[in-house]
């Protein structure tokens, strides 16, 4: 073989060597979607041209970009599906009412008494020396204004500006030992906490032997009385109809009653 022919052969092999080196350097994941044999490389006398190298690089870059975009969309969709759904009820269709500048939190079935209902119930509160107000911030605000001794147990820490406030959960109750109360006024959620859970809460906090006053949905009266009348406190009976502020639907408003000790 002459020197000229040998130089021509070496020159033709350079693109092929470049392609082989490039394929060795690229990660194997670049070829997971298709076998290497599927790539069509134009040749001249069995030798790959440099344009083939460019096409291989471009193809792999596009494939990796599509993969990144697909993974990003999958993660975004999964994150959206993992977000908790907000609880809703008929009352949540109405705008929240306010108490002392604080809006009702309808996610937790928090609703405030109307002014007329609050004044009516407070007359009963005032009959006791040391009332315990359970989930009853409306009555606590009134008691604070009148400098009356009280304790408010509530999950909503936005009411911690009240002197008698203490954070509390109906579903994770504890024994109340720092306040010697003589009556309990409770306005529990109607859907998220059952009457049996309310009864259990009162037992565990040591509030099952004093007069009990409950604002509740009369449509569930049977379950309410069935659970609470098993306690050691005086049996309950319906007293009078109550009303909440505009946050509650009119359909629900018609069924809210105050329950209290029989013959009280």
Q: pTM of the predicted model, to two decimals?
A: 0.66
Mean model confidence pLDDT for the chain: 79
d(CA 224, CA 195): 5
d(CA 78, CA 97): 35
Structure tokens at 254: 């018609």
Instruction: Give the model's pLDDT for residue 93.
Output: 78
Structure tokens at 218: 């009369």
**What pLDDT band is residue 251 in, cutting at 50, 70 and 90?**
confident
**What pLDDT band is residue 83 in, cutting at 50, 70 and 90?**
very low
């Amino acid at each position: 073989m002459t020197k000229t022919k040998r130089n021509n052969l070496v020159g033709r092999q350079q693109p092929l060597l470049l392609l082989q080196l490039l394929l060795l350097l690229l990660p194997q994941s670049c070829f997971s979607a298709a076998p290497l044999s599927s790539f069509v490389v134009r040749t001249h006398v069995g030798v790959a041209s440099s344009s083939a190298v460019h096409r291989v690089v471009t193809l792999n870059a596009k494939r990796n970009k599509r993969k990144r975009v697909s993974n990003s969309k999958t993660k975004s969709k999964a994150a959206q599906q993992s977000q908790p759904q907000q609880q809703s009820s008929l009352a949540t269709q109405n705008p929240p009412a306010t108490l002392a500048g604080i809006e009702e939190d309808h996610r937790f079935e928090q609703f405030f008494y109307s002014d007329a209902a609050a004044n009516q119930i407070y007359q009963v509160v005032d009959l006791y020396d040391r009332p315990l107000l359970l989930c009853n911030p409306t009555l606590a605000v009134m008691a604070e204004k009148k400098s009356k001794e009280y304790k408010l147990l509530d999950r909503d820490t936005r009411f911690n500006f009240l002197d008698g406030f203490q954070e509390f959960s109906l579903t994770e109750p504890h024994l109340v030992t720092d306040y010697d109360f003589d009556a309990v006024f409770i306005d529990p959620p109607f859907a998220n906490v059952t009457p049996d859970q309310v009864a259990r809460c009162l037992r565990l906090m040591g509030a099952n032997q004093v007069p009990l006053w409950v604002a509740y949905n009369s449509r569930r009266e049977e379950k309410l009385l069935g659970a609470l009348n098993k306690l050691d406190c005086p049996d309950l009976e319906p007293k009078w109809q109550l009303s909440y502020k505009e946050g509650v639907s009119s359909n629900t408003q018609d069924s809210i009653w105050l329950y209290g000790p029989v013959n009280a």
